[in-house]
Amino acid sequence: MAAPIAVVTGGAGGLGSAICTKLASEGMRVVVGYHHSADAAHKLVAALSGAGHSARPAPVTDTAALTALAATIARDYGGCDVLVNCAGITRFVPHADLDSLDDQLIDAILATNVRGAFAAVRAFRSLLDNSSLPGGGVVVNVSSIAAEIAMGSNVIYCASKAALDNMTKSLARALAPRIRVVSVSPGLVDTEFVKSLDQAWRHEQASRAPLGRLATPQEVAAAVAAVITTLTCSTGSVVKVDGGRTLG
Catalytic residues: 157
Conformational region of residue 3, where left means phi above 0, alpha means psi within -120 to 50, and beta covers everything else? beta
Q: Are 37 and 12 in contact (CB under 8 A)?
A: yes
Q: Are 140 and 184 in contact (CB under 8 A)?
A: yes
Q: In 10 A of CB 39, how many CB atoms?
A: 11
- H or E segment at 139? strand 137-142
CA distances from 247 to 145, 242, 244 (A): 11, 10, 5
Report the distance separating Cα 120 and Cα 29, nearest Å.
18
H helix intervals, the chain:
14-25, 38-47, 63-77, 103-110, 116-129, 146-149, 155-175, 192-195, 199-207, 217-229
Report the distance separating Cα 223 and Cα 66, nearest Å.
25
Report the distance separating Cα 111 and Cα 62, nearest Å.
10
Q: Are 148 and 246 in contact (CB under 8 A)?
A: yes
* Residue 18, helix vs strand vs coil: helix
